[in-house]
Amino acid sequence: MTHSAAASASDILWLGVGFVGQTLFFMRFFVQWMASERARRSVIPQAFWYFSLAGGLVLLAYAIRRADPVFIIGQATGLLIYGRNLYFIAGRSQSDGKTAG
């Protein structure tokens, strides 16, 4: 396999990684939409944040591979927000399970 063929295969692989990231990121909007339709009001289900985190991680890897500083900073910043929201949800779940005593 020549160097150009290997580079081409690598580029195709990373293009696939980018599309997987975009699909995960799209799924957050889809689950939010479906949850809102069921509730007949705007809601953000916990799955929204998990899809955000997963999609953000994959897209960050893709951005690093492409060496795109704008994309890297955008995705890295988003990961902090998604992680913080999941932290709040986990804290709320723990406090909901406690009883007064």
Please report, in tens digits, the pLDDT of each residue of the chain (101 residues total): 555 666 788 889 999 999 999 999 999 999 999 999 999 999 999 999 999 999 999 999 999 999 999 999 999 999 999 999 999 999 887 777 665 44
**What is the tally of structural domains in the chain?**
1
CA distance 3 to 12: 14
Give CA separation, 88 vs 24, 29, 45, 48, 62, in Å. 22, 20, 13, 14, 28
Q: What is the pTM (predicted TM-score) of this model?
A: 0.80
**Spatial contact of 52 and 78, defined as CB atoms under 8 Å apart:** yes
66 lies in which domain range? 3-97
